[in-house]
Amino acid sequence: MSRRQITFWFDFASTYSYLSAMRIGDMATRLNLGIRWQPFLLGPIFAEQGWDTSPFNLYPAKGAYMWRDLERQCEARNLAFMRPDPFPQHSLLAARVALAALEHDNGASFCREVFCAQFARGADISNPATIADCLHRSGFPETLMDKADDQHIKDRLRDHVSRARAVGIFGAPSFTVGSELFWGDDRLDSAMQHAERRTGELE
């Protein structure tokens, strides 16, 4: 019987992906579920909807609400929070280095460090020095950053974007379990419950 799995689709620039990234690991451990960390880019998907930036910037009332909501959520979860400026940040470098890190066992630690750098300390994740620091904090050599230029890493990120689009993803975080899609940190519990119910099915 295969280990039950949940695929966690995230963009490093996504505010609510921070909330999920910081709790999904513990939740999955408790439920004995596997997680596939799947960084992708929202930019190309937003562009297809005619958006050249985050909808939180395009729609000011929605944006103002999101920042207040995020602040409240972080407070309730004892998560540090600092609003990054600019927002959204360019997440391409982080995503590519994450794909290289995720070829190793503790790749998820690197991903969490990137989210914390940006949303707990307000650092700019498009800055290679920030990424180098995240690698260091998660026990990777700085040289892993060179892999961001490898063709197979670039291709894999492009493939993740195509697959995100193909499964109907329109925002982040999203979670897939088999053919079911769940959107938003608010649906992480539902996704986990769905994964628990699916016994022995291959993803």
| Residue 25: CB minimum distance to a copy of itself, A | 22
* Residue 184 binding a copy of itself, by CB under 8 A: yes
Is the CB of residue 76 less than 8 Å from the CB of residue 192? Answer: no
SS3 3: coil
Segment near a copy of itself (CB under 8 A); pick from 5-13, 32-40, 126-134, 174-182: 174-182
Q: Looking at the chain, which runs of residues are DSSP E strands?
A: 5-10, 34-39, 174-177, 180-183
| Residue 181: CB minimum distance to a copy of itself, A | 6
Q: How far is it, in rounded angstroms, from Cα 130 to Cα 151?
A: 23
Q: Residue 113 or 185: which CB sits closer to a copy of itself?
A: 185
User: Taking CB under 8 A as the criterion, which residues in 152-171 touch a copy of itself?
Assistant: 168-171
Residue type, 198: R
| Residue 178: CB minimum distance to a copy of itself, A | 13
Nearest to 171 by CA among 55, 58, 28: 55
With CB under 8 A as the rule, give the number of residues binding a copy of itself: 22
| Sole binder of a copy of itself in the list 61, 85, 149, 200 (CB under 8 A) | 61
Q: How far is it, in rounded angstroms, from Cα 32 to Cα 91?
A: 30
User: Taking CB under 8 A as the criterion, which residues in 37-56 touch a copy of itself?
Assistant: 49
| Residue 59: CB minimum distance to a copy of itself, A | 6
- Residue with the two structure tokens 């562009």: 47
Estimate the crossing angle of helix 107-119 against helix 92-101, to 10 degrees: 150
Binding site for a copy of itself (CB under 8 A): 49, 59, 61-62, 64-65, 68-69, 72, 76, 168-171, 180-184, 186-187, 190
